Amino acid sequence: MSLDADLLLLLVIGIDLFIGSTGRLGARIRACALQGLVLAALPLAIQGTGVLTGGERVLHTVLAVLATFLLKAVAIPYFLLRAMRQSGVAREAEPEHSLHLSLLLCAVLVGLSFWIGAVMLPPPEAGSSPLGVPAGLATLLVGLYLTVGGRTELTQVIGYLVLENGVFVIGQRVLGEFPLVVELGVLLDVLVAVMLMAVLVAFGHRPEGGSAGDGAATPAGGAR
């Protein structure tokens, strides 16, 4: 991998830490869109793997890059923002941990990913980046943390999307076949779309004022 690919992988890790350090759902969704854009640009920064060589392979790869861009950077973030506006929830509701502790936990997960990549995995082959597996594993673990610890449906969907991005990076590093990785990743993106549809339907059938304010609304006569 080239230096550009290493910088993109570092950017992926930085986005993971940002997503874990903010409770604003809009900021998390836009960060996921940026991460999708980085993942779409990643194969174009790879050199020496033959990604952009070959007659029919070029068209296949271009279509795969466009599919990654449209799904991860445009379509899914758009519907996430739409679901956020429809729900009326702009922040994570009653997070289990403070944002400082959440950032610390995400940093620990990133450090653990680098330790696993350095100690438990064989050295990277010539021409491949040592950041491939650590960056993918860090993204996967941060996504898993958000999915399990999320208090809202949107946070859980965002967490699964980040998790799937980690699988995407690891698959590209291990398989080395970008079109194949994208075709496998599209199946996971379809699951994200199904989860989003379920969230939109749930919010669409929720009565007015019945989202985040159910537990807060009390009858006037019940005030003490």
Span 191-206, pLDDT tens digits? 666 666 666 666 555 5
Q: Which of 55-64, 145-154, 183-192, 214-223 has the highest mean pLDDT?
A: 145-154
Q: How do residues 6-32 score in pLDDT, each as one tens digit?
A: 899 999 999 999 998 888 999 999 999
CA end-to-end distance (rounded Å), the chain = 65
Q: Establish if 170 belongs to a structural domain.
A: yes
Predicted pLDDT at 44:
76
Determine, yes or no, domain membership for 224. no
106 within a domain of the structure (yes/no): no
pLDDT over 60 (residue 135) = yes
Q: Residues of the chain with pLDDT > 70: what percent? A: 63
- Is residue 99 included in any domain, yes or no? no
DSSP-H helix ranges across 46-152: 55-68, 76-87, 99-119, 132-149
Q: What is the pLDDT of residue 131?
A: 83
Structural domain boundaries enclosing 128: 3-89+116-204
Q: How many CB atoms sit inside 10 A of residue 49's CB?
A: 16
Q: How large is the average pLDDT for residues 123-144? A: 80
Mean pLDDT, range 174-185, rounded to an integer: 56
**Residue 11 · residue 41 · CB < 8 Å:** no
- Per-residue pLDDT tens over the stretch 93-103: 666 667 788 88
Instruction: Count up the domains in the chain and report the number.
Output: 1
Percent above pLDDT 90 for the chain: 21
**Range with top average pLDDT, 86-95, 105-114, 168-177, 214-223:** 105-114
Burial environment of residue 209 by CB neighbours within 10 A (0 to 12, 13 to 18, 19 or more): exposed
Query: Is residue 199 situated within a structural domain?
Result: yes
Q: Choose the weakest-confidence range: 34-38, 170-174, 196-200, 201-205.
A: 201-205
Q: Regarding predicted confidence, which is higher, 168 or 173? A: 168
Tell me if 212 is assigned to some domain: no
Is residue 137 assigned to a domain? yes
